[in-house]
Amino acid sequence: MPAVDASFTLAGLWHSLGWPLLRLLMGLAAGLLIANLLEALRWTRHLARLAAPLARAAHLREVAGASFSLAFVSPAAANGLLSESHNAGELSGRELMLANLFNSLPAYLVHMPTIFLLTWPVLGAPAVFYVGLTLAAAAGRTAFTVLLARSLLPPPPPGCLVCKAGSDERTRWGAALRTAWKRFRRRLPKLVYFTAPIYVLMYLLQHYGFFSLAENWLAGHMGWLSFLKPQAMGIIVLHLAAELGAALGAAGSVLQTGGLSARDVVLALMVGNILSTPMRALRHQLPAYSGFFRPGLALRLILANQGLRAASMALVTLLYYYCS
């Protein structure tokens, strides 16, 4: 009898597909519910005040400022808020794109402690440079978006009619919860119908080697990285194949044995991070964004988001290379 693939047993599917998909859906659903509740309670205008100076400088509406502030806590909830406003006609497609890019800094800061706690025990001092460079890139993306939005968008009308409507009335929790739950139930099926199939497709592509083929192709076409030492190529390949964890293990090993300097390790991790952008977008962002936005719109948002991210990371990497 032919051997049974262990990953396609019931237990294997649950651990490799079912549980990760369930966690993703629960996270997206929680973000959507929080966004709906904030809208129903009319708290978005209070959140918007926290980011009001930046939002005003960017000619963005209050909901973009509210999304920016919310992204410090939950990027998924911030996307849910933008999705609700776009569907209600309060944000145009261009405003939605710019508001999503505007959230680059707070969305990164949510994950920065985890990244630092992963890198510091393995790398020590070079972890500060690596995390500092990625933070500078995120801040640069938000700053660039402010300038871009200011040049593309007219100043918004004074105040926000949507936010002012009923602002003198005290919203009761009971009514707000009912409204939020009603909207949540209406949007939840769409979230599941779009996210689950795309996540399963990504799982199958990974299981049958599509991502491995893409990673091997990238690894075989890295002659243009001759400015890096040969020992750095292993870190980059592992970053492509297994993301940050395996790359950190390799980086820590060559750093301790003296095969690479701290500068070389930081450059290798930055280059690996940049080259893994397409894989990251397909594996992680496409299923998550498709739960909030139409697939075509989700793809455009991801391309803009990840394209700007790769460009900003390349810029800070070049600056580090020439200045260190």
Q: Give pLDDT, residue 168.
A: 42
- Residues 300 and 29: their CA atoms lie apart, in Å, by 22
> Would you give per-residue pLDDT tens digits along the chain (324 residues)?
444 455 567 777 888 788 887 887 787 688 777 767 776 666 656 666 767 888 889 999 888 988 998 888 788 889 989 998 998 888 999 999 999 999 999 999 888 888 888 788 778 888 999 999 999 999 999 999 999 999 999 987 765 434 443 444 445 777 777 777 887 787 778 777 776 776 777 677 667 776 566 556 655 655 556 667 766 777 777 777 656 666 777 777 777 777 778 898 899 899 888 988 877 777 778 888 888 888 889 999 999 999 999 999 999 999 999 998
Residue in the block written with tokens 């970053």: 239
Q: Please give the C-alpha separations between residue 170 and each of 44, 173, 176, 210, in angstroms, as whole numbers.
A: 14, 9, 11, 54
CB 231 within 8 A of CB 265: no
Task: Give 118's contacts (C-beta < 8 A, 6+ positions apart).
Answer: 244, 245, 248
Exposure b/e, 59-85, CB count within 10 A at least 16 = b:
bbbbbbbbbbbbbbebbbbbbbbbbbb
Predicted TM-score (pTM) of the model is: 0.73
Q: Residue 47 has what pLDDT? A: 62
Q: Which residues of 108-142 are buried (b: 16+ CB within 10 A; e: fewer)?
A: beeeeeebbeebeebbeebbebbbebbbbbbbbbb
Distances (CA, A) of 72 to 75, 83, 112, 243, 246: 7, 17, 11, 24, 28
Please tell me the distance from the alpha carbon of residue 171 to that of residue 12, in angstroms, as a whole number. Answer: 48
Specify the 3-state DSSP secondary structure of 252. helix
Cβ proximity of 72 and 87 under 8 Å: no
Distance in angstroms (rounded) separating the CA atoms of residues 192 and 174? 27
Residues 6+ apart with CB under 8 A from 93: 86, 297
- Residue 4: its pLDDT value, please? 47
Q: How many Å apart are CA 11 and CA 28, to the nearest integer?
A: 24
Instruction: Report CA dihedral (137, 218, 297, 101) to the nearest 10 degrees.
Output: 0
Neighbours of 260 (CB within 10 A): 25
